[in-house]
Structure 1
Amino acid sequence: MLRLITEQDFKEFWPVFQSIVAAQETYAFDPEMRFEDGYSLWCVSPIKTFVFEGEDGSILGSYYIKANAMGPSNHICNCGYMVSENARGQGLARKMCEHSQNIALELGFEAMQFNSVVSTNEVAVKLWQKMGFEIIGTIPKAYRHKRLGYVDSYVMHKPLAR
């Protein structure tokens, strides 16, 4: 079930968040980030943040939605998604992305853009493409991957249908 996040939810999700960030394979967040900074970044700054709650009440994933830019570009949104390692491969990212597109339309956004999809994150790239996102740009050596060194990142975009 997808629902709005609470601070307690983020506390429960923090180990997942922290491990994803520390892996330095998908998110350009400080691997030494403290809880307070992570909470602010993921839960306070965005317009809305959701959790995917399992049947047992555990938090299996989370996503945020925010405007990608301000002023004349605030009609395009940006989202970030995280899924716990033990829940991967179950379609949660797809469900969260579908949900986020509906929320984006409710909030008046006309398009969704991902600013930095790490090129080596092939599962995410393929999923986003299946969901109608196009790679509209490649940023050479934009990401310092912990194991692979410098790798490209993609800018991906999708118009949202009303």
Structure 2
Amino acid sequence: MILRAATDADWPLIWPFFDDIVKDGQTYAYPDDLTIDTAKALWMEPPPGRTVVAVEGEAVLGSAKMGPNRPGRGAHVATASFMVDPAARGKGVGRELGVHAVEWARAEGYRAIQFNAVVETNTSAVKLWQDLGFAIIGTVPEAFDHRVHGLVGLHVMHLTL
């Protein structure tokens, strides 16, 4: 598996699993009716951020976007989002993308990384981020309308760099 900067040519390979994950309604609060173009605008992060892909041969296994959590006076804290093709789960793709995001944020001079909305029922993601040193610093009750479980909490997770 190779991690590299995403290009416009990668988007048609990211879109199918992006769309499936969003429509699944269990991990992302994006609207269900995104088009390929509106989703691209949300995912392909412009500078100073970055979007990467994890590839194996011609296949895109996953993608991550990262950048400042807030503009201006909040720009010293990074954030990131991750999607792994369900067909590639269990291969360590999420971990590699997570490690990359932490290393990138540290190299770019960010002081911390904050994940604003980790769905509390997404236990594999919560465990992964905790394994990488993130702490749950709060949970917003019933902030996510989970397609299976109804209203569940969103964790705010933080890692000091």
TM-score category of the 2 structures, normalised to the smaller one: over 0.9
CA contact (8 A) 2:44 2:50 kept: yes
Distance 1:17 1:73, change over 3 A: same
> Which ranges of structure 2 fall in alignment gaps of 5 or more residues?
none
The one-letter amino acid of 1:131's match is L
The one-letter amino acid of 1:53's match is V
Match of 1:48 in 2: 50
State the Cα deviation string for residues 78-100 of structure 1 (Å, max 9, x = none). Answer: 10000001110111111111111
* Deviation, structure 1 residue 45: 4.4
* Deviation, structure 1 residue 102: 1.2
TM-score of the superposed pair, with normalisation by structure 2 = 0.95
What SS does structure 1 have at the residue aligned with 2:44? helix
C-alpha distance in structure 1 between counterparts of 2:28 and 2:46, whole Å: 17
What SS does structure 2 have at the residue aligned with 1:25? coil
Match of 1:28 in 2: 29
C-alpha distance in structure 2 between counterparts of 1:105 and 1:127, whole Å: 19
C-alpha distance in structure 1 between counterparts of 2:155 and 2:41, whole Å: 25
Match of 1:120 in 2: 121
Match of 1:156 in 2: 157
What SS does structure 2 have at the residue aligned with 1:26? coil
TM-score of the superposed pair, with normalisation by structure 1 = 0.95
- 1:75 matched to 2:76? The reply is yes
What SS does structure 1 have at the residue aligned with 2:152? strand
C-alpha distance in structure 2 between counterparts of 1:71 and 1:86, whole Å: 38
The one-letter amino acid of 2:104's match is I
* Deviation, structure 1 residue 105: 1.6
The one-letter amino acid of 2:107's match is E
C-alpha distance in structure 1 between counterparts of 2:122 and 2:135, whole Å: 15
- 1:4 matched to 2:14? The reply is no
The one-letter amino acid of 1:69's match is R
* Deviation, structure 1 residue 7: 1.3
CA contact (8 A) 2:78 2:110 kept: yes
* Deviation, structure 1 residue 108: 1.6
Match of 2:147 in 1: 146
CA contact (8 A) 2:50 2:67 kept: yes
* Deviation, structure 1 residue 106: 2.0
* Identity value in percent: 39
* Deviation, structure 1 residue 72: 1.5
Moved segments of 4+, more than 2 Å:
none
C-alpha distance in structure 2 between counterparts of 1:118 and 1:145, whole Å: 9
> Which deviates the most, 104-113 or 143-152?
104-113
> Which ranges of structure 1 fall in alignment gaps of 5 or more residues?
none
CA contact (8 A) 2:45 2:66 kept: no
> Which deviates the most, 43-52 or 22-31?
43-52
* Deviation, structure 1 residue 155: 0.2
